[in-house]
C-alpha cells in the first residue's frame, strides 16, 4: 500500500529545515500593524508551536492575504489603483503562478467564492476535468492493483486545467480591468525575476530530486543543477512568454492555441491521454454555493465538485448544540465531539459526494437537522467510535498542496480563491518550454474503491474516474456573513485537512472569540474517518487532554503543520479589516491600506 499523506511528509521535511524569522514582519509598514500577546496566554496552557510571530495587520479600505508577499503586493497595488476585489484576485492568482509555483498555477484549477457589496453570493467552479479518454481503472495495472505514483507523478495524473478560463470568466463578468492590466505584474515578475526568501526556497527544496530528473524543469528551478538559495533571483522567461501569449490571445492561446498544443505534445510523448479536444471542450461554471447557519452567522462555502462546503456545514450542524466555548478550546470534551462529528461527516463525504454532473449529491439530506440529530445520537459521551463502525450514514486523507488567498476591497466586495495543482509542483513536470507545472488532480478521484489516495482518503464509486468528470475536491473558500454583512473570508491549502483547517478558523473566531491572529496561530486538529486517527499539530493538546483522549480510545497522529489559512476578518466594533500571515508559510503576507 502506498504511504499516505505525501505532502504532510513534504511539510515535515519543509519544517524540519527550520523556521526563520519572518520577512513579513519587516514588510508591514504600509498597514497599521498591531502585535498581539502570545497565544499561549489565551489557549489555556498549550505550548506555543514553533512558528514565527507574524504581525496582526489592520486596514480601513482594502486587504489582501496570500502565501507569497509579492503576490499580496500585486493585489494591493491593483486595489490602490481603483481595481475591485475580482481584479485584484485575478492579478494575485497570476502572480502566485510565478512566485509560488508549487501551488499557485495556470496548470491546475480551483474555486472562487465571491460576496459582492450588493449582497450577491456567487461561486465559480474552474476545477480540472478528466480527459475524455479517461477510464475508471486507468490507475490500476492488469491485476487490478493501483500503480504507485501513476496518478501523482505521470501525465496520466493530469486533469484538463481550468485556472486560465476561470480567471477570464471572473474578470469579464465582475472585474473592471483588462486582462492585460491584471496579468502585467505577473509577466514582470516572471521576466525580470524576484528575490527568493527562505520561505520560498524551503518549498523548492522539497522537490529538488524531481527538478533534477527533468532537464527542462531543472533549467528553471535549479541553479546550474544546484538548489536555489535565499537571496538569489529566480527568472522564468518561458513562463513570461506563456503569460504574454495569454495576455495577447486570452483563453484561445491556452485552450485552442500554442499552449494547449505544447501540453498535448508532451502528454502524448509521455503516455498521457490529453488531446486538443479536451482543451477545446473545457468549460467553467457558476454554481450556487452551499449555505448554512452557525451561531447566527451564515457560512457560505464550496458546493460539489468540492466536498468542502457540505462537510463543513454537516460538521457544524452536528456540533451546534454543544457549548464548546464553555468546554474550552481543544479540551478533551470539545475535541471528542468535534472529532466524532468530523468522522461522521467525512464518512458521508467519502461515500456520497462526487461531480454533480455525473452523480447525485444528497446535499439536502446530509445537511438536514434530522440527519445531524441522528448522527449526534450515535456519539458516545465517553469514548471514541472506531471508524470501522461508522459508515456512509444514509444507507477516508490528503497531502497538501494548493493555495488560498483572500481579498476585500473598499466597497465591501470579498473574494476567496483556492486553486491547486494538487501536490507540491503537481506531477513535477513542465510541458516543453511552457514554463508552468501541470497538476496531478486525477489523484483526487477514486483510483480504486477502498484504496487510499495520496491524502489517505478512502473514497467510493461516486468519485470514480469518468471522461470529462471533475474530481471531488476538499477546497473550501468560505465567506462568513453576519446579518448579511461580511464577517470573514477564509480558506486554506492542505488536501483533506483543508476542511478542518478552514472550519477551525471559523469556530475559533465565532465560538472562542479569538481575533484573526489567535485563530490562525492556534494549533490545529483533523479527523477524516480513515485513517482512524486525530491529526494534531504541536501544542494542539495539553498533556492531560492527550491522556484523557487516549483513555477514550483516540489515537493521535502528530503532524508538524496543517494548512495555511489566508483569512480576513471584519472587526464588528470598528468595521476595520484584520488579517495576519499564517506563520506556517513565512513567505506569505497580509497587507492592506
Ligand atoms: N487537490 C486537493 C483538493 O482539491 O482537494
**Is the backbone of residue 159 left (phi > 0), alpha (psi -120 to 50) or beta?**
beta
3-state secondary structure 10-51: HHHHHHHCCCCCCHHHHHHHHCEEECCCCHHHCCCCCCCCCC
Of 7, 442, 473, the one to substitute when testing ligand 1's pocket (max ligand atoms within 8 A of C-beta) is 473
CA of 475 to the centre of ligand 1 (A): 6
pLDDT in tens, the chain (593 residues): 223 333 333 333 333 333 333 444 443 333 322 222 222 233 333 445 567 899 999 999 999 999 999 999 999 999 999 999 999 999 999 999 999 999 999 999 999 999 999 999 999 999 999 999 999 999 999 999 999 999 999 999 999 999 999 999 999 999 999 999 999 999 999 999 999 999 999 999 999 999 999 999 999 999 999 999 999 999 999 999 999 999 999 999 999 999 999 999 999 999 999 999 999 999 999 999 999 999 999 999 999 999 999 999 999 999 999 999 999 999 999 999 999 999 999 999 999 999 999 999 999 999 999 999 999 999 999 999 999 999 775 553 334 579 999 999 999 999 999 999 999 999 999 999 999 999 999 999 999 998 888 888 888 889 999 999 999 999 999 999 999 999 999 999 999 999 999 999 999 999 999 999 999 999 999 999 999 999 999 999 999 999 999 999 999 999 989 999 999 999 999 999 999 999 999 999 999 99
CA dihedral angle for residue 321, residue 323, residue 328, residue 330, rounded to 10 degrees: -10
C-alpha pair distances (Å), 81 with each of 285, 408, 577: 29, 14, 19
CA dihedral angle for residue 470, residue 472, residue 473, residue 478, rounded to 10 degrees: 90
Residue 105, ligand 1, Cβ within 6 A: no
Residue 417 β-bridge partners:
112, 405
CA of 495 to the centre of ligand 1 (A): 5
Residue 473, ligand 1, Cβ within 6 A: yes
Beta-carbon neighbour count of residue 18 at 10 Å? Answer: 9
Secondary structure class of 227 (helix, strand, coil): strand
Residue 125, ligand 1, Cβ within 6 A: no
Residue closest via CA to ligand 1's atom 2 equals: 495
Catalogue the active-site residues. Answer: 402
CA angle, residues 232, 237, 243, in degrees to nearest 5: 125
Residue closest via CA to ligand 1's atom 3 equals: 473
Q: pTM here?
A: 0.90
Residue 444, ligand 1, Cβ within 6 A: yes
Q: Which atom of ligand 1 is nearest to the CA of 422?
A: 1
Residue 72, ligand 1, Cβ within 6 A: no
Regarding beta strands 222-223 and 194-195, do their DSSP bridges make them parallel or antiparallel, or are they unpaired? unpaired
- Are 144 and 263 within 8 A, CB to CB? no
Beta-carbon neighbour count of residue 386 at 10 Å? Answer: 10
Beta-carbon neighbour count of residue 34 at 10 Å? Answer: 13
CA dihedral angle for residue 124, residue 128, residue 131, residue 136, rounded to 10 degrees: -100
CA of 442 to the centre of ligand 1 (A): 10
In degrees and rounded to multiples of 5, residue 556 shows phi and psi of -100, 140
Estimate the share of the chain in helix, then strand, then coil, as percent rounded to the nearest 5.
40, 15, 45
CA angle, residues 97, 103, 109, in degrees to nearest 5: 80
Amino acid at each position: 500500500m502506498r504511504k499516505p499523506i505525501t505532502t504532510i511528509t513534504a511539510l515535515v521535511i519543509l519544517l524540519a529545515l527550520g523556521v526563520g524569522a519572518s520577512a513579513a514582519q519587516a514588510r508591514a509598514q504600509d498597514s497599521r500593524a498591531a502585535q498581539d500577546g502570545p497565544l499561549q496566554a489565551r489557549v489555556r496552557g498549550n505550548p506555543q508551536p514553533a512558528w514565527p510571530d507574524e504581525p496582526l495587520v489592520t486596514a480601513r479600505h482594502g486587504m489582501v492575504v496570500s502565501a507569497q508577499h509579492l503576490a499580496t503586493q500585486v493585489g494591493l497595488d491593483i486595489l490602490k489603483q481603483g481595481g475591485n476585489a475580482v481584479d485584484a484576485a485575478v492579478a494575485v492568482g497570476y502572480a502566485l503562478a510565478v512566485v509560488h509555483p508549487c501551488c499557485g498555477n495556470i496548470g491546475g484549477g480551483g474555486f472562487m467564492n465571491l460576496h459582492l457589496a450588493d449582497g450577491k453570493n456567487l461561486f465559480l467552479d474552474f476545477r480540472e476535468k478528466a480527459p475524455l479518454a479517461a477510464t475508471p481503472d486507468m490507475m490500476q495495472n492488469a491485476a487490478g492493483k493501483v500503480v504507485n505514483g501513476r496518478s501523482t507523478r505521470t501525465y496520466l495524473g493530469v486533469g484538463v486545467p481550468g485556472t486560465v478560463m476561470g480567471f477570464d470568466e471572473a474578470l469579464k463578468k465582475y472585474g473592471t480591468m483588462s486582462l492585460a492590466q491584471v496579468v502585467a505584474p505577473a509577466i514582470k515578475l516572471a521576466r525580470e525575476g524576484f528575490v527568493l526568501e527562505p520561505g520560498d526556497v524551503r518549498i523548492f527544496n522539497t522537490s529538488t530530486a524531481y527538478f533534477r530528473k527533468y532537464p527542462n524543469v531543472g533549467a528553471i528551478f535549479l541553479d546550474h543543477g544546484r538548489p536555489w538559495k535565499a537571496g538569489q533571483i529566480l527568472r522564468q522567461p518561458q513562463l513570461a512568454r506563456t503569460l504574454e501569449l495569454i495576455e495577447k490571445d486570452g483563453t484561445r492561446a491556452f485552450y485552442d492555441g500554442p499552449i494547449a498544443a505544447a501540453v498535448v505534445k508532451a502528454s502524448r510523448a509521455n503516455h498521457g491521454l490529453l488531446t486538443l479536444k479536451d482543451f477545446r471542450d473545457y468549460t467553467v461554471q457558476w454554481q450556487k454555493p452551499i449555505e448554512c447557519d452557525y451561531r447566527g452567522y451564515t457560512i457560505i462555502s464550496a458546493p460539489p465538485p468540492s466536498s468542502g462546503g457540505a462537510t463543513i456545514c454537516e460538521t457544524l450542524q452536528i456540533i451546534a448544540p454543544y457549548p464548546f466555548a464553555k468546554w474550552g478550546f481543544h479540551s478533551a470534551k470539545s475535541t471528542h465531539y468535534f472529532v466524532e462529528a468530523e468522522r461522521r461527516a467525512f464518512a458521508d463525504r467519502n461515500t456520497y459526494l462526487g461531480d454533480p454532473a455525473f452523480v447525485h449529491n444528497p446535499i439536502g439530506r446530509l445537511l438536514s437537522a434530522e440527519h445531524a440529530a441522528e448522527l449526534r445520537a450515535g456519539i458516545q459521551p465517553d469514548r471514541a467510535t472506531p471508524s470501522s463502525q461508522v459508515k456512509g450514514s444514509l444507507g477516508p486523507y490528503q497531502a497538501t498542496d494548493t493555495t488560498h488567498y483572500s481579498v476585500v476591497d473598499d466597497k465591501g466586495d470579498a473574494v476567496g480563491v483556492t486553486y491547486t495543482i494538487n501536490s507540491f509542483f503537481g506531477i513535477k513536470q513542465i510541458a516543453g518550454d511552457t514554463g508552468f507545472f501541470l497538476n496531478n488532480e486525477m489523484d483526487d478521484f477514486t483510483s480504486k474503491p477502498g484504496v487510499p489516495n495520496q491524502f489517505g482518503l478512502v473514497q467510493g464509486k461516486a468519485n470514480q474516474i469518468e471522461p470529462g468528470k471533475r474530481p471531488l475536491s476538499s477546497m473550501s473558500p468560505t465567506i462568513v456573513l453576519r446579518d448579511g454583512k461580511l464577517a470573514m473570508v477564509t480558506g486554506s491549502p492542505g488536501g483533506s485537512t483543508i476542511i478542518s483547517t478552514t472550519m477551525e478558523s471559523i469556530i475559533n473566531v465565532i465560538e472562542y472569540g479569538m481575533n484573526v491572529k489567535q485563530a490562525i496561530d492556534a494549533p490545529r486538529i483533523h479527523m477524516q474517518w480513515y485513517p482512524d486517527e486525530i491529526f494534531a499539530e504541536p501544542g494542539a493538546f495539553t498533556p492531560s487532554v492527550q491522556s484523557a483522549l487516549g483513555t477514550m480510545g483516540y489515537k493521535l497522529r502528530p503532524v508538524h503543520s496543517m494548512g495555511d489559512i489566508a483569512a480576513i476578518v471584519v472587526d464588528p466594533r470598528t468595521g476595520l479589516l484584520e488579517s495576519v500571515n499564517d506563520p506556517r508559510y513565512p513567505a506569505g503576507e497580509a497587507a492592506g491600506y
